[in-house]
A and B are shown apart, each in its own frame.
Chain A
Amino acid sequence: MTLRVRGLRKEFGGRTVLDGLDLDVAPGEFTAVLGANGSGKSTALRCVVGLETPTAGEIEVDGRAAMVFQKIHLVGRRSALDNVCAGALARLPLRRSLSPLLFPRTLREEAMACLDRVGLADRAAEPASRLSGGQQQRVAIARALCQRSTLLLADEPVSALDPKAAEQVVALLAALALDGLAVVAVLHQPSLARHHAGRIVGLLDGRLDLDAPASAVTDHDVDRLYAPDRAAVPAE
């Protein structure tokens, strides 16, 4: 397993956001995560990459976890290639990591291959801020590849994109899973999830409520996750 989560709990000031989450993700598996706002999807991903400290539970990652965000978080003034190179910062010797001018040639070549994988080799020299939203998200994915990650977590990667760009990015995630990467993506578009992901998991009040092959997930399953009168059910 690339990712193994057991009994993950997270509380923010007494409010329970994750209430004992279990999840395994295998290499090459594209898992889409559905769930209403506040169901704990983002928090779960942030716990896996260490942006949040779990209150309790175990997280094991075989290899390296990378993450892409809804707001993308590239450095707009830097070129697409320099942004991708940043994925390698943790393994560079300090003195070669201080400025993009010092990045080794081998790294620039590796980053170029990552940009090529997401179809943006021809935009390598452009400042990231000049690219469209979909292209920026693909640069962020290339940065995750340059990190040599085995697990790619995507927190609403397409929520800010137009439908065509969203489709492209999700299709890219599916293609990367075919290459052997384990992909876990929070999506707010059940149709995209059903079309591209191999597996859909649903979170409800910080717990796994749905876990099925994408082809087996029905409209009813999805509606239940987003049921508007859910809040009327007293929380335990």
Chain B
Amino acid sequence: MTLIREPGPAPAPPGRRLPSATVWLTLAVLAAAHVLAWQGTGFSLTALAQGWRGMASFLGDALPPDFDWETVLQPSLKAAAVTLYIGLLGTTLSIPFALVLAVLAARVTAYGTTSYQAARSLLSFLRSVPDVVFALIFVTAVGLGPFAGVLALVVHNTGVMGKLWAEAMEESDPGPREAMRVLGASRLQTALHAVLPTVLPQLVGLLLYRFDVNVRASLVLGLVGAGGIGFLINQSIKLFRFDQMATHILVVLVLVIAVDQLSALIRRRIAP
């Protein structure tokens, strides 16, 4: 091969490659799935257009929101704080469980096939049972109220965060792990001195993301009796006080935006 040559036209570029049969087949299957889904969910734009009156009267009842301090706004803010507390404890109390399970369930730190499979199965189970179902179960044990909500979030969040953390560890730079292997470190030492310090920013980022999600999840838990502002929203709907519901929803909006901004701020600070 020579890199120095006479000036002259370069060879013609190779012809364009058309998408393969596999690509066309995948697109056809996707299109068919959408047709089935359209029918299966009773998707109908005409029904939506004909029903506009219902939505309009609902909005008419909701506006203007009822901002009475004594009866609406103050209870709303107090309940929003409870929602925030549920999300906070539901996230932080799951850290130790999620960490242990993540280390066992990440291929790069796992101890053996049995504990790896067991940890992965447990995480899948905790993740696939919705937090609302866990809340209903805990309500039967500890009664209605925020405590049941905290327990439900701890259990469900362990499953989700453990899985996300395990994935972050698996995607960590293999270099420091190799260095640990060469110097004879054990698997636990490798996890503690190579994997965890390397992925710490990612783990904290995922933790903040889960906090964000859990605060919103604790709203829904309120709807099934786990306290907080979700409970007040449910109550105001049942009493047809849509103007009070509007106030609660505005408070929720402020809360969600505040949590989102806070976690974004922290994530920027810890970025690697």
Q: Which residues of the partner chain A approach B200 to less than 8 Å between Cβ atoms?
A: 77
* Shortest distance from the beta carbon of B152 to any chain A beta carbon, whole Å: 32
Tell whether B143 is near chain A: CB-to-CB under 8 Å.
no
Would you call B182 and A75 a contact (CB within 8 A)? no
Q: Quick one: closest A residue to B196, CB to CB?
A: A75
Q: Which residues of the partner chain B approach A168 to less than 8 Å between Cβ atoms?
A: none
Bits for B144-180, please: 1 = Cβ < 8 Å to A, else 0: 0000000000000000000000000000010110111
Query: Which of A30-38, A66-74, A181-189, A202-210 has 4 or more CB atoms under 8 Å from chain B?
Result: A66-74
Tell whether B236 is near chain A: CB-to-CB under 8 Å.
no
Q: Which residues of the partner chain A approach B173 to less than 8 Å between Cβ atoms?
A: 73
Query: Which of A6-14, A83-91, A157-165 has 4 or more CB atoms under 8 Å from chain B?
Result: A83-91
* Shortest distance from the beta carbon of B114 to any chain A beta carbon, whole Å: 22
Complex CA gap A78/B180 in Å reads: 14
| Max chain A Cβ within 10 angstroms of own Cβ: one of B1, B180, B185, B193 | B193
In the complex, chain B residues 161-218 whose Cβ is within 8 Å of any chain A Cβ = 173, 175-176, 178-186, 188-189, 192-194, 197-198, 200
Would you call B197 and A89 a contact (CB within 8 A)? no
B-side interface residues, number (CB < 8 Å): 22
Q: Which residues of the partner chain A approach B175 to less than 8 Å between Cβ atoms?
A: 69, 71-73
* Shortest distance from the beta carbon of B148 to any chain A beta carbon, whole Å: 36
Known: A51-B182, A90-B183. A75 touches B197 (CB 8 A): yes
Would you call A51 and B181 a contact (CB within 8 A)? yes
Complex CA gap A75/B190 in Å reads: 11
Known: A89-B189, A228-B1. A50 touches B178 (CB 8 A): no
Instruction: Specify which of B1, B193, B198, B272 is in contact with A86 (CB 8 Å cutoff).
Output: B193
Known: A75-B194, A77-B197, A99-B192. A86 touches B183 (CB 8 A): yes
Q: Which residues of the partner chain B approach A69 to less than 8 Å between Cβ atoms?
A: 175, 178-179
Q: Which residues of the partner chain A approach B1 to less than 8 Å between Cβ atoms?
A: 228
Known: A89-B193, A99-B192. A67 touches B185 (CB 8 A): no
Would you call B176 and A89 a contact (CB within 8 A)? no
Would you call B181 and A50 a contact (CB within 8 A)? yes
Complex CA gap A69/B272 in Å reads: 22
Complex CA gap A109/B48 in Å reads: 75
Tell whether A98 is near chain B: CB-to-CB under 8 Å.
yes
Q: Which residues of the partner chain A approach B198 to less than 8 Å between Cβ atoms?
A: 75-77
Complex CA gap A74/B193 in Å reads: 10
Tell whether A147 is near chain B: CB-to-CB under 8 Å.
yes
Q: What are 25 A-B contacts with C-beta separation under 8 Å?
A: A49-B182, A50-B182, A66-B182, A69-B175, A69-B178, A73-B173, A73-B176, A73-B179, A74-B176, A75-B176, A75-B194, A75-B197, A76-B198, A86-B180, A86-B185, A89-B184, A89-B189, A94-B186, A97-B189, A98-B189, A99-B192, A143-B183, A144-B183, A147-B183, A228-B1
Question: A residues bordering B, Cβ < 8 Å?
Answer: 49-51, 65-67, 69, 71-78, 86-87, 89-90, 94, 97-99, 140, 143-144, 147, 228
A-B pairs, top 3 by smallest CB distance, nearest first, are: A90-B184, A73-B175, A73-B179
